[in-house]
Amino acid sequence: MGCADAGSLADLDEESGVSVMTTKPQNLLLELFVEELPPKALKKLGDAFAGVLHEQLKQQGLATAGSQLTAYASPRRLAAHITDVATQAADKVVSQKLMPVSVGLDAAGNATPALLKKLQALGADASVVAGLKKAMDGKAEALFYDSVVTGATLADGLQKALLEAIAKLPIPKVMSYQLESDCELPGWNSVSFVRPAHGLMALHGTAVIPLQALGLTSGNSTQGHRFEAAISPVVIAHADEYAATLRKDGAVIASFAERKTDIARQLTAAAEKIGGVVPIDDDALLDEVTALVERPNVLVCSFEKEFLDVPQECLILTMKANQKYFPLLDAAGKLTHQFLVVSNISPADASAVIGGNERVVRPRLADAKFFFDQDRKKTLASRVDGLDKVVYHNKLGTQGERVTRVRAIARAIGQQLGGDALAAQADQAALLAKTDLVTDMVGEFPELQGTMGRYYALNDGLSSDVADAIEDHYKPRFAGDALPRNAVGLAVALADKLETLAGMFGIGNLPTGDKDPFALRRHALGVVRMLADKELPLDLDVLVQTAGQAFGDKIEDASAALLDFIYDRLAGSLREQGYSAQEVDAVLALRPQRLGDVARRLVAVRVFAALPQAPALAAANKRIGNILKKAQEVDAHVSQVLLKEPAEIALFAAMNLVLPQAQTQFESGDYTDSLQTLAALREPVDAFFDGVMVNAEELDLRLNRQGLLKSLHVAMNGVADLSRLAT
């Protein structure tokens, strides 16, 4: 675009042909044309570029509150279409605080030198003193000066917005390049941006807005598709015609969302045409491919069927990660020898494009087959010693040492869940779970750890329970991921995560802020999910102690901090599921050991809180707790002989009637019924506090009444700490 005249904010009058300034709001289009942008960052770059432009124009009063933004992003352009943009913002009245009245005016009400100096700095003089406003500012009265600020012109405002948008781009890595100047300055200038920029377009309706950025001056044209554009350059007559003109004359679909939708449609149609299914649930891959093409064209390719002997996870991974291809599955979900390619060109004869992609993928698949064949020549058991050469952590030893610890924890868990048989299987799976880390396939594709271990275990003739556990011991890897499919997998997965947590806490390697390099939060949530969702009969305290003991004296005892960490993760997870902070606090205050019980406890608390008796009982429970805290150690024992007052006799009788039933319901897991049964104690409890002095002067009476309250307190707080429900 060089330094040629970029035009002005004007339209041509149709009758006279004379440029006239437009005053009514019109739609705006701004495009930055660059070399190929990094595909993984394109969507974020496009949204950020357009978003900052829009926000800046609104802040300057150039775009109305109802202005609509459309962001565009293609491999070689970032653009934004913004509706209802004015040629100039409205003037603003700005009230500026000057100084306290006592400083600005003397006793006679005349301006002091300090005030005159301040006004001079603002471009005003003594003539405005009489018009200054007085208003309270805190405890003192201050002087305020009202002035009119002329609204920004679109040329100035958009220039500022463009530079701000460029400065705030979330660029993954900036590159510097030399820009030859053909304007005033001879020689070369250095420019830093995500990629070399070659064009700038800015249209307000049909008028070009003069802007400069990255060594460019704005115009009304851009470039289309590298190979398929019908016209070069592509001239945009009006801001509203940008996308349509670029598609027609430039063979480019400017909208990221439109291209993504078009790719998904073409993929599905191509798969259906040949009787296959294409998994397009990988949104990251779909986004990356969308960022690589300007006008997508889906083609069907194939490879030799002999490669299907390799586990399909390997083939799918290499096709998606290395080549950005979409695998085709049959109706049963099994990989076929065909795959789909999203091309950026649409030739009449696509055979050369198809053949080229098939030639490119073949060596990748051949490598995968070679790794698979080589790995199967050695058993997993023969690879165990190799883990002694793999460093896990400089303070925690090798992977071999880690495996020894995981085995000990897995055996203990297996013993609790299923006796000797399960303990033996868990031990075997834990021994072999990390061995695929030293295979060629996992060395090339780390994402396949666990998956390849399962295939190699089956190849070695191991049971499916052990093989599945080797794959599943990494689960759940992320929120919503599946849990291990059998008891062996649960034992090893719990052991693996608990070993990591205990080890890292034991050496003080804790998460800070948003930094969690060892994914300890994810590991803790994984432990919570397995214990809770599978309702495993395992006590959390015992599990944490077992994990810590597996390290011997290698680490410090951090079990208390680790338990707090796990309960914090549990609390956060429960709040995300819709439980209130008060409900969660009431249940987790008791530190329940069996996490599978927590959901039932929460439901019981919610039902109880809705009862009319709940507020009074929660308040009474809080009062009882405070009384017992002030007393010495209280024995939950009551002597009926020492019950003197009618209200305490009545409460004792009601407790003898209600508590056994509530306890039976509690022990059978009927937490909701248990709390509802306890609700019957509201009236005798209220009567007790109205008619009985707990801290009586007589020691025997005082201890007996405290014992009565202690018995009641223990019974009422079996499901949750009801005092936490008191407002």
3-state secondary structure of 26: strand
3-state secondary structure of 42: helix
- Do 27 and 86 contact (CB within 8 A), yes or no? no
Tell me what pLDDT residue 170 has: 92
C-alpha–C-alpha distance, residues 230 and 320, integer Å: 32
Tell me what pLDDT residue 131 has: 80
Please give the torsion angle defined by the CA atoms of residues 421, 424, 429 and 432, in that order, rounded to the nearest 10 degrees: -150
Tell me what pLDDT residue 188 has: 60
Q: Which of 726, 564, 559 is nearest to 572 (CA)?
A: 564
Q: Which two tokens stand for residue 458?
A: 């089956």
Q: Alpha helix locations (H) across 439-519?
A: 440-444, 451-459, 464-472, 487-506
What are the distances in angstroms from CA 679 to CA 614, 671, 703?
Answer: 7, 13, 25
Tell me what pLDDT residue 123 has: 79
C-alpha–C-alpha distance, residues 252 and 223, integer Å: 9
C-alpha–C-alpha distance, residues 655 and 658, integer Å: 5
C-alpha–C-alpha distance, residues 174 and 404, integer Å: 46
Largest CA distance in the chain: 113
What are the distances in angstroms from CA 184 to CA 3, 155, 187, 188, 190?
Answer: 9, 22, 10, 12, 15
Tell me what pLDDT residue 500 has: 97
Q: The tokens 């995560």 sit on which residue? A: 497
- In this structure, how many other beta carbons lie within 10 angstroms of the beta carbon of residue 633? 6
C-alpha–C-alpha distance, residues 125 and 378, integer Å: 92
What residues pair up with 176 in beta bridges, in sequence order?
192
Radius of gyration of the chain (CA): 37
Cis peptide before 476 (omega within 30 of 0): yes
- In this structure, how many other beta carbons lie within 10 angstroms of the beta carbon of residue 388? 13
- Residue type at 414? G
Q: Which two tokens stand for residue 721?
A: 């700490």
- 698 exposed, middle or buried (CB, 10 Å; 0-12, 13-18, 19+)? exposed
C-alpha–C-alpha distance, residues 597 and 515, integer Å: 32
For residue 619, the Cα-to-chain-centroid distance in whole angstroms is 39
Between helices 399-432 and 540-549, what is the axis angle to 10°?
Answer: 130
- In this structure, how many other beta carbons lie within 10 angstroms of the beta carbon of residue 670? 16
Whether the full predicted model's pTM is greater than 0.85, yes or no, is no
- Do 418 and 426 contact (CB within 8 A), yes or no? no
What are the distances in angstroms from CA 659 to CA 146, 191, 532, 609, 716?
Answer: 74, 79, 28, 19, 9
C-alpha–C-alpha distance, residues 294 and 74, integer Å: 6
List Cβ neighbours of 92 (8 Å cut-off, separation of 6 or more).
61, 148, 149, 151
Tell me what pLDDT residue 180 has: 62
3-state secondary structure of 612: coil
- CATH of the structural domain 381-578, one choice from 3.30.1370, 1.10.10, 1.10.3210, 1.10.3470: 1.10.3210
Tell me what pLDDT residue 120 has: 85
User: CATH fold of 606-725, please?
Assistant: Isoleucyl-tRNA Synthetase; Domain 1 (1.10.730)
Low-confidence ranges of the chain (pLDDT < 50): 1-22, 182-183, 185
3-state secondary structure of 422: helix
- Do 392 and 534 contact (CB within 8 A), yes or no? no
